[in-house]
A and B are shown apart, each in its own frame.
Chain A
Amino acid sequence: MLNNFVMPDLYPAAPEIFLLLMSFLVLFVDLVFGATHRWMAAMLTVITLIGCAAITLVTSDGQTTLTFSNMFVDDLLSDFLKLMTYLAVIMMLVYSRQYMADRGLDKGEFYVLVLYATLGMMVMISAANLLTVYLGLELMSLSLYGLVAIDRDNTRATEAAMKYFVLGALASGLLLYGMSMIYGATGSLEIGGIAQALYHGQAEKPVLVLGLVFLVAGIGFKLGLVPFHMWIPDVYHGAPTAVTMFIGSAPKLAAFAMALRLLVYGLFGLAVDWQQMLLIMAVLSIGLGNLAAIAQTNIKRMLAYSAISHMGYMVLGLMSGVVGGQIDPFTAINAYSSALYYTVAYVLMSLGAFGMVLLLSRAGYEAENLEDFKGLNKRSPWFAAVMLVIMFSMAGIPFFIGFFAKFAVLLAAIKAGYTTVAVIAVMFSLIGAFYYLRVVKLMYFDTPVDSAPIKAGMDLRFLLSLNGIAVAAFGLFPDAVMMVCTTTLMRSL
């Protein structure tokens, strides 16, 4: 019976295996030294991620390799997204070290759960089968639910975790339901097999479309698109800022990978159908996100609504791949790489913005209200400038990375003939500029409410400065990043 079984090639999955083994080491080290040397778990976690990055770089050969019975794919896209994920997680860990230590939350479990969430994202990014997409998503989500509740005596955090858990379970149910429909219609769980079945026209359209609706709803929930956005403001607000930053950065890359693998790799034959669904969600997200953000006084909530609108802009790129039922590889790759570019740019900006919130917080004090940014220029001109760069970039003001990202997705949308949608998106982006610029106004033209000196470690200051510089510098060389995105997709699709 077992004669025809071939041992899977473990080489493409080396980063995942390394991370899993190291996570056991972190658990063990925390058990032995956790009480006396808390820094050891943190250090090991960062070393693990750097090790993963090294392995991913070394094993990356630009070829598409399938392993584990075609359930795992290692291509240039997965390598690129994984490297970005490691970077985002390392930055998150460095930014949050002091914050978590001040609140007694830098327990070993924090680092272990962060590692497992990262593993879940890697599984999602490399998924070539509906089963692995789902399992990776669950691994990531379950770790995140735990992380949100890590400050267990804080009622707001536990309430946020509960909400996230219930709604997340519902979304997973929708996703599974859609997957089972698609499996029923195509007879395959493999993403490649589904694409094949669609190409040959063997599948029943009504079943497929119903499955697709559920699938898109699940993806919309994970990306935080209207009308599946309800969890975002509460979870962003309730979770400890470091965890909010984690949720707001790396998982977006994984959710993007999931959307790309399911919709573009798997259900490309139904592009005309899912583009319509994404279109509605994108417009609603851009509108609601930007309008609701204006009314917020809490910066974490404001950034939550801003996240909703940014994901809306990203989806503009995803839904512009196929024009009028005609598949043109050049247009498609252009559109998807603009969405990839947007995701990467957004993660960079989001890390910077939450990094600023962490920078201004200290033991027993959360700088989470807009007022806390008042007069930042007087307290620290350099970091006021960093925040200015990030806010300008998020608002889409020229010559920062955010502008070129918005420009790319809007261009893709216009090329696909969605001119009206692009005009609406630009209008809402103008409205959205108000609340970003309000932060700048508070920093430069108001007198400080909180005049305590900024007590952040050198590591946070250094990396946050780099983050700000990166947001500005990539804006000066937008073509370089775009080129990387386009090449990645061209070699992987």
Chain B
Amino acid sequence: MSAMTIAEKILAQHSGKESVSPGDLLFAKVDRILGTDVTASLSIQVFKDMGAEKVFDPSLLVLVNDHFVPAKDIQAAQLSKNMRQFAHEQGVDAYFEVGRSGICHSIVPDQGLVKPGDLLVGADSHTCTYGAVGALATGVGSTDMAAAWALGELWFRVPSTIRVEVTGKLKPFVGAKDVILHVISKLGVDGALYKVLEFHGDTIEAMNIDERITISNMAVEAGAKSGIIPSDEITLTYMKEVGVHDAQLLDADPDAHYDSVLRVDVSDLKPQVAKPYLPSNAVDVDEVVGQQLEQVVIGSCTNGRVSDFEVAWRLLQGKKVHPSTRLLIIPSTREIFQQLMANGWANDFVEAGAVITPSTCGPCIGGHMGVLAEEETGLYTTNRNFVGRNGHPTSKVFLSGPAVAAVSAIRGKITNPEVMF
């Protein structure tokens, strides 16, 4: 049996093979299939066109209301209604309703619906997030999702893997987002096309699950199929917290074959900001300080977790958001929002002048609840800043981690937290 990367091990195991190699085409059983209010309806139509009546196994399905909820308009309400009816007809337990829901990429791990070694597909490009707990997870289209619902399996082309070694202790105000923006700037938006990024090194090993989620979440911004982190004791502790007691340690074989190895020393890394209109446009924050901001958003599937809000709260408590700037705080799930309230942070954010929105993808996709007008500029902790993504085509979005976002909201312009404190 040949040595394998983590992705190769997972695909071999799920296709009943001893070993697989990059380029192999195979059918593999999936452990979960994620759909959201924006993608499930299309798949339901395809599912019916396939002549399917019952899903292969309702326990494989996860259906989350997060993109246009609470319903933005009649059309969005209909999309959620279609998904709700389908979940009911098919007996899907993992259906998440508004109020008990959240952003899918926080819901899936926090509800114990993914574990190390799992193979997961989702009709959402940031499905790659679950690499944070050692799963191979990737985004697929609506036809693929419908076929997976019907068959419990899907075809895959075994991707090659780029090993990313991240080493060094991060400086104050520098976090996981700065690391991944820096890595993507080295790879380019298509630098990992059809490949998997496998993250190693002492910087990654020192990160908690929230931080690892930020890393894996953005793998797709370098074109990657997924971004996987080996599971370790930190992973297993988290899995127990979310009620999964059979999680295993998982790493690549020592002599596994990699497409290439990228070594990044982050000991001197400065806070990073990705300029419009690509996530790969990361520069040191100093290069863009002073840029006026109409809106700052802290949240999303990239940076909407307790650790992210803790970073923001430390910088924002007792301060005021600049009069010409709007600050949106989006806790990813109900439980994260409850934590913000229990810690008193929610009140401090509101005192500072922020608005706390429901758990939604809204502003990140320019959907609702904080869309940008013509010529407006934002600084978001989200994952994409393509032309028009967050509002009017002439609007601009810079991407950063929560520390830069928090101090920039106070100053009303892009600010380096190292200088401010």
A and B are partners in one complex rather than unrelated chains: no
